[in-house]
Structure 1
Amino acid sequence: MNTRIIMSASALVMAALGLIASFLPQEVLQYLGTDPTGMAPVLVQILGALYLGFAILNWMAKGVLIGGIYARPLAMGNMLHFFAGAMALLKGLQAGQQNSIIWALALVYGLMAVLFGLIAFRHPLAAKVAGQ
């Protein structure tokens, strides 16, 4: 499995979400149907900072050998983030938040959770040996 592509893709997704949340917090809250007053915009900006931090972590680690015991904390952190995010998005969809952006995010998060799960629990060289 080519972890460079997966790490790059996750970094780009998180960077996009981080930039949107950091620079357009009022617009994000309005789109979600929430009043953009008080501490809500600040919390969205902090969420954006979190996404940007995770994005740069993944971007800078895209060339590292990942899988099995190699860079396990990185793989597990990504897997947990994407799995928990996918479950939260699916719960929101089940509660009636039928929105095409939410559906798209749920699909991306679900796919990334599966990919990072495979990365975390497979030996990185097993794919090369099986492919020969």
Structure 2
Amino acid sequence: MNTKILMTFSSLFLAIMGLTISFLPNEIINYLDIESNIITILFIKILGALYMAFAILNWMARGTLFGGIYNRPITMGNLMHFGVGAIALIKIAPNSANYSEIIIPLTGIYIIFALFYLYIFKTNPISVKRTSNSK
């Protein structure tokens, strides 16, 4: 599996989520009909920072070898984030009719990323065969 593509897509997804959450906290609070106060805004901004941190981590590690023992902490962090996130989204999906336009696509994305990171965690990287011209 080409992990560079996965890492690039996950970093872009996380960056979009992080930037949106960081720069539009009041709009998100109003859309979700949550009580707006300083603590709510603070927690939403911190959540955006976490998304952006994961995005930059994945972006900077995208060219390295993944699988087996290689980059296991990064793989496990992503698997934990997307796996637990997918489970949480699956649990609330039946009760979220008001926000189904957000929950359903987000659930699908989280499940897909969780499965890919689980696959990377369970498999060893494929060794690249050298051609006769390279040393």
Task: Tell me if both proteins adopt one fold, taking TM over 0.5 as the criterion.
Answer: yes
Runs of 4+ in structure 1 displaced over 3 angstroms? none
Specify the code of the residue in structure 2 equivalent to 1:4: K
- Structure 1: distance between partners of 2:25 and 2:92: 20
- Largest Rg, 1 or 2: 2
Determine helix, strand or coil for the equivalent of 2:38: coil
Counterparts in 2 of 1:1-132, with a 5 A limit? 1-97=1-97, 98-125=99-126
- Structure 2: distance between partners of 1:55 and 1:17: 9
Determine helix, strand or coil for the equivalent of 1:39: helix
Share of identical aligned residues, percent? 44
Specify the code of the residue in structure 1 equivalent to 2:29: L
- Structure 2: distance between partners of 1:91 and 1:124: 33
CA RMSD of aligned residues (A): 1.5
What's the CA shift string for 1:82-119, capped at 9, x where partnerless?
01111111122122344111111100000000000001
What's the CA shift string for 1:52-105, capped at 9, x where partnerless?
000000000000100011001111110110011111111221223441111111
- TM-score, structure 2 as length reference: 0.89
Task: Note the residue ranges of structure 1 that are not aligned, 5 or more in a row.
Answer: none
Determine helix, strand or coil for the equivalent of 2:17: helix
Task: State the Cα distance separating 1:38 from its structure 2 match.
Answer: 3.2
- Structure 1: distance between partners of 2:90 and 2:30: 21
Query: 2:96–2:103: 8 Å Cα contact kept in structure 1?
Result: no
Task: State the Cα distance separating 1:13 from its structure 2 match.
Answer: 0.5
- Structure 1: distance between partners of 2:13 and 2:67: 21
Task: Note the residue ranges of structure 2 that are not aligned, 5 or more in a row.
Answer: 130-135
Specify the code of the residue in structure 1 equivalent to 2:116: L
